Amino acid sequence: MSLMQSKLVHGAGGFILMGGWAFFANRSYALPAPLIAAVVQGVLSAVITLGLKAMIERIFQRSNGWRRFILPPLAAFAVSVTLLSVVHSLAGTPALLATIAVPLTVSTLYACFYTFTLYRHA
């Protein structure tokens, strides 16, 4: 298995990139707020990255017609926005909307592109 196929590499990449974004989005607040936001987002991104692919595939396989194309990205968005909003709220992330905007956009776009790939190969 190559590094690009490794779930650990994908999870670590999500942790570093989106955790870094969360730190940046909260940089104007006093420490430790940016660090807490970064760790929370990093963990969430790793978890979402590892679970999103399986969830999209499962929903795609159980759907038919236009639902195959719409439901997986919609579910990915719903799960992502819920997890990100609830966990960051509980963690007290000060710049909540700025913090979740990029990871939510990335996860939703990934879901759209991956679903399209599945749809094209079905």
Which stretch of DSSP H or E encloses residue 3?
none
pLDDT of residue 4: 55
* % of the chain at pLDDT higher than 70: 96
pLDDT higher for 49 or 102? 102
Tens digits of residue pLDDT in 53-104: 899 999 999 999 999 999 999 999 999 999 999 999 999 999 999 999 999 9
- How far apart, in whole angstroms, are the C-alpha atoms of residue 64 and residue 115? 13
Contact call for residues 52 and 72 (beta carbons, < 8 A): no
pLDDT of residue 2: 64
Mean pLDDT of the chain: 92
By C-alpha distance, which of 55, 40, 51, 39 is closest to 10?
A: 51
DSSP state of 2: -
